[in-house]
Structure 1
Amino acid sequence: MYERSVLVVEDEPFIRGLVSDKLKSDGFKVEVAASAAEARKIADTKDIDIVVLDIDLGAGPNGLDLGLALHKMHPELALVFLTHVPEPRIFGLDVKSIPKNAAYLLKERLSDPNVLNDAIEAALRDRVGPEFRDDLKPSHPLVNVSRIQLDVLRMIAKGMSNQQIADARGTSLRAVENLVNRAISAAGIDAESKTSARVIAVREFIRVAGLPE
């Protein structure tokens, strides 16, 4: 019987171990990588059928960048993205950029012992449906916030002032203020003052995306 090979790309050793051990117990041959560079080397030198990628890989290319690059070089690879972040635009990508038959799973769903294996099987058969595309069913308040507005919220969450954001973006202070106000409006935040609305917007960004680096 052919033993299918999975490459697990995850920078957190504990999660990497859990995922790889589960896949081994399910009968897969497992290779592991802790970085995008290591993953590329393995994909180029070994016969891999499926790549299971964490999206946040720390410094360097993220898992979405890596997945798209691997898909371009090896279009036969099945892809399963794992993440705590339900909104790929946080990483600068639109959902349309994700390959059609790639799975996108929130890590919280891994508490179901069957979901990862089921997603892999669907990806291998080019039959990934909505049940394995958590990016297509966002239920957070930032869903209507544009990518540019998300980027501004990310910089605010890093502690940058409006003037610092304007300097970084090469734009005017007024333009940044307008972006922040539109982001707050798009997120449906209704607060008594601009200051409290800004705090709530940043809190929601951190809740959805985590603390920015």
Structure 2
Amino acid sequence: MPLRIAVIEDDALTRLTLVAALNQQGFEVSFQSGSASDAVRQFDNASVDVALIDLHLGQGPTGVDLARAFRRKRPGVGLVFLTSFDDPRLLSENLPIFPSNAQYLTKKSVTDISILAKAVNEAALGKARKPVRQPQQGLGALTDGQIEIMRLVAQGLTNSEIAKRRFITEKSVELAVARVARALGLVSSPEQNQRVHIAKVFFKATGGSTREDA
């Protein structure tokens, strides 16, 4: 019997592409959905071995929230996150803890459908490729607080605005921005300051683009 897959992705074209690719690989797509609320409703009435979930599902619950809801209903369901975010902390400061034995794939890393098929099969067997928040160079070396500073800088907030949100001084924000830049290996230049560099790294890591790159 083929593995039964649920596909939850808010972008309709991406969702249809995933469904077609999974069908071609011999999987059975139990249901597809573009929202967390609809996915929970369909999940209750479907047979699912593995849920393939986008991390960012627009306004409302995240893919992690949805995955945790699935696991509460059926502890044995396999989970594969497919996302544009290089580091899940870039999505939200208060992202819930990821369920155990979940696969985490970035969309840009899936250069061949066999990569996704392998992740689905491993998820069905309860295997985890690696801890989702594995310390590493670059973004993975940043603390949660530094990730939040990076997000606020990318949103275009001034040091004063960030200080108010974080309940710290402007001087502390200035030092935090400098530490983020150093951790990312960024250097300031007359043509482009550290904040612009940080914003570009953020947008690239979230699958987006700056106005200049668009």
State if a TM-score over 0.5 links the two structures.
yes
Measure, in 1, the Cα distance between the counterparts of 2:145 and 2:92.
9
The verdict on how the C-alpha distance between 1:94 and 1:167 changes in structure 2, with shifts beyond 3 A counting, is: closer
1:45 alignment partner in structure 2: 45
The sequence identity of aligned pairs, in percent, is 29
Measure, in 1, the Cα distance between the counterparts of 2:116 and 2:134.
18
The verdict on how the C-alpha distance between 1:45 and 1:96 changes in structure 2, with shifts beyond 3 A counting, is: closer
The within-5 A match list for 1:123-202 is 123-130=123-130, 136=134, 141-192=138-189, 196-202=193-199
Q: What's the CA shift string for 1:164-185, capped at 9, x where partnerless? A: 1122233322222222122122
Structure 1 length-normalised TM: 0.84
Note if contact 1:40-1:70 (Cα within 8 Å) is conserved in structure 2: yes
Q: What's the CA shift string for 1:6-39, capped at 9, x where partnerless? A: 1100011111001111112233331101011111
CA RMSD of aligned residues (A): 2.6
Note if contact 1:105-1:134 (Cα within 8 Å) is conserved in structure 2: no
**SS where residue 41 of structure 2 aligns?**
helix
Note if contact 2:6-2:32 (Cα within 8 Å) is conserved in structure 1: yes
Uncovered stretches (5+) of structure 2, i.e. residues with no partner: 210-214
Note if contact 2:5-2:48 (Cα within 8 Å) is conserved in structure 1: yes
Write 1 or 2 for the structure with the bigger share of helix.
1
The within-5 A match list for 1:5-16 is 5-16=4-15
Q: Which range is displaced more, 39-48 or 78-87?
A: 39-48
Aligned residues: 207
Structure 2 length-normalised TM: 0.84
1:65 alignment partner in structure 2: 65
1:172 maps to a residue whose letter is: T
Note if contact 2:84-2:108 (Cα within 8 Å) is conserved in structure 1: yes
C-alpha displacement of 1:135: 5.9
2:212 alignment partner in structure 1: none
